[in-house]
């Protein structure tokens, strides 16, 4: 029997004076082995601590047959799908054991993402205010070190496999056939609408978590299902597994489910849980372009007391898109992942959706505290996301009631908006407040209202070599997309140092990398 491969943790080893020791509360987390059916995969998650253990099952279920049960490639893909939830827990375990079928590219990907996620969680969830924490873990010092992954990562091969010849794959796909990772938010709605208008017949793929989070996507999913036969849905109970894991972390408040927050308690590796769940559909349908709806301000590189991080947005950044595309290439999977919205600010995305695709904008839901009334999902109207969306719609002269907000909710948002800290980049937030104050909808006297300032680049197409280089949108899409964008933008600007310079986006030079 082949000895399991193990990768030692690249962080510090626990010892008595270790200030991060309060985080290491699980002896071993075991994932898999998977159980595979043609339209379903199941993987046990087992937590072992102090000679006790507890097990739950992670499940993905598909509306169509997507796996060949005896295929080594299907079992490999299913193993990678099952592994993604566990990547969030490298700070909290002494060992994480992956039972399944993993080649060297998979192992390197898991290790790299676990390392990066450990650092992101340490900075964003433990060094910044977090209402879910209790005890010593809520008072951790900022320690600059080379690695933060504490868990030893072990891969146990549970079956014979022909993996390793990654180029010899039956994954046949066409990069001119598009999948859109879909939800009820404005970004995926606009991404789909643009590609559909350009004649590419994109496939909207919805990943249905088993909890209330699904309500956010329900209105748009029902519309897509009626109108577009390419629509697909994947059901998963990953949200239940996340909640189950929280009950094994003693530094998380026991009443975490009752705390209202726009943040998750500790996890930051979330998009990949959905993304990998969509891959079997891409493989079956031969789709080679995976479109993610991310805008300009989700690519950030910051430092917290000398510790570099991505502001908790790595899995929404262009760095994530590039890492996934590289991984797909190493695996021999002909898939490119990208966003067509990176040159656009959040307000400009909203404007294009409202004015060009009003039928789809009606189904926009950007709230995770929704409720159902008479068979339709409605937003809460009180969270930060709702305030941001209502603010943008009012600034654009649009009616928030079209997508479910009541008159009283709109009035309440206007009263509160000047004192709300919006989760946008500073320039977008300040420009939004500036537009609202220009329209006389808010005053400049509120706690945030005094920050209302014009940032002209926010309403332009922004080409930024760090955040939104033009070449990351495929060349076949750029001319048509840029032409549409300029119908709604106040021109185009490219970054030069810390400034923005206007330029002709549609010129021949603009089609080259900038």
Q: How many CB atoms lie within 10 A of CB 501?
A: 12
Give the list of residues 6+ apart from residue 461 with CB closer than 8 angstroms, or none.
343, 344, 348, 482, 485, 486, 489, 491, 492, 493, 505
- Reported confidence tier of residue 158, pLDDT bands at 50, 70, 90: low
pLDDT tens digits along 50-83: 889 999 999 999 999 999 998 999 999 999 999 9
Q: How many CB atoms lie within 10 A of CB 244?
A: 17
- Whole-number percent of the chain with pLDDT over 90: 61
pLDDT tens digits along 447-473: 555 667 888 888 999 999 899 999 999
Cα separation, 215 vs 207, in Å, equals: 12
The residue-averaged pLDDT of 100-105 equals 94
The residue-averaged pLDDT of 386-400 equals 89
Give the list of residues 6+ apart from residue 300 with CB closer than 8 angstroms, or none.
310, 311, 313, 317, 425
Cα separation, 502 vs 494, in Å, equals: 6
- Reported confidence tier of residue 514, pLDDT bands at 50, 70, 90: very low
The residues spanned by each domain of the chain are 5-173+232-338, 345-458, 460-514
Residue in the block written with tokens 């891969």: 155
Task: Please say if the pLDDT value at position 509 is more than 50.
Answer: no
pLDDT tens digits along 396-439: 899 999 888 999 988 888 887 766 666 667 788 888 888 888 88
pLDDT in the model for residue 160: 43
pLDDT in the model for residue 13: 46
Cis peptide before 65 (omega within 30 of 0): no
Q: How many CB atoms lie within 10 A of CB 496?
A: 10
pLDDT tens digits along 173-203: 888 899 999 988 999 999 999 999 999 999 9
Question: 239: closest CA among 209, 273, 274, 278?
Answer: 209
Most confidently predicted of 8-12, 377-381, 509-513: 377-381
pLDDT tens digits along 218-254: 999 999 999 999 999 999 999 999 999 999 999 998 8
């Amino acid at each position: 029997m082949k000895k399991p491969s193990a990768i030692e943790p690249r962080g510090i080893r626990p010892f008595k004076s270790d200030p991060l020791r309060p985080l290491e509360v699980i002896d071993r987390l075991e994932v898999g082995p998977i159980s595979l059916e043609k339209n379903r995969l199941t993987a046990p998650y087992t937590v072992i601590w102090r000679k006790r253990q507890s097990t739950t099952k992670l499940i993905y279920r598909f509306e169509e047959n997507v796996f060949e049960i005896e295929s080594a490639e299907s079992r490999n893909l299913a193993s990678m799908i099952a592994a993604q939830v566990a990547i969030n827990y490298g700070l909290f375990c002494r060992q994480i054991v992956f039972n399944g079928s993993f080649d060297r590219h998979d192992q390197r990907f898991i290790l790299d993402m676990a390392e990066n996620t450990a650092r992101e969680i340490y900075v964003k969830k433990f060094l910044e205010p977090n209402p879910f924490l209790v005890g010593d873990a809520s008072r951790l010092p900022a320690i600059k070190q080379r690695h933060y992954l504490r868990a030893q990562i072990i891969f146990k091969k549970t079956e014979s496999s022909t993996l390793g010849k990654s180029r010899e794959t039956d994954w046949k796909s066409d990069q001119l056939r598009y999948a859109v990772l879909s939800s009820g938010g404005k970004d995926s709605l606009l991404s789909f609408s643009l590609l559909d208008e350009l004649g590419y017949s994109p496939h909207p793929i919805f990943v249905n978590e088993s909890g209330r989070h699904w309500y956010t996507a329900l209105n748009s999913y029902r519309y897509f299902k009626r109108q577009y036969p390419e629509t697909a849905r994947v059901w998963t109970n990953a949200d239940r597994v996340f909640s189950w894991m929280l009950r094994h972390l003693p530094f998380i408040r026991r009443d975490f489910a009752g705390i209202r927050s726009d943040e998750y308690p500790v996890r930051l590796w979330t998009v990949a849980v959905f993304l990998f769940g969509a891959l079997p559909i891409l493989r079956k349908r031969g789709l080679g372009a995976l479109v993610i709806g991310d805008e300009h301000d989700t690519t950030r590189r910051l430092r917290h007391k000398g510790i570099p991080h991505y502001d908790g947005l790595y899995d929404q950044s262009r760095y994530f898109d590039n890492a996934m595309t590289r991984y797909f290439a190493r695996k021999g999977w002909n898939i490119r992942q990208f966003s067509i919205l990176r040159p656009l600010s959040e307000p400009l995305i909203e404007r294009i959706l409202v004015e060009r695709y009003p039928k789809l904008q009606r189904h926009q839901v950007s709230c995770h505290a929704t409720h159902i009334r008479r068979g339709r999902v409605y937003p809460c109207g009180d969270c930060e996301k709702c305030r941001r969306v209502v603010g943008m719609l009012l600034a654009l002269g649009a009616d928030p009631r079209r997508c479910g907000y009541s008159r009283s909710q709109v009035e309440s948002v206007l009263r509160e908006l000047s004192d709300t800290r919006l989760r946008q980049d500073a320039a977008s937030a300040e420009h939004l407040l500036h537009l609202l104050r220009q329209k006389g909808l808010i005053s400049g006297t509120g706690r945030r209202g005094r920050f209302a300032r014009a940032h002209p680049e926010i309403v332009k197409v922004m080409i930024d070599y760090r955040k939104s280089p033009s070449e990351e949108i495929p060349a076949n899409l750029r001319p048509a997309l840029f032409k549409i964008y300029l119908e709604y933008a106040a021109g185009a600007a490219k970054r030069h140092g810390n400034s923005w310079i206007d330029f002709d986006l549609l010129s021949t030079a603009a089609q080259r990398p900038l």
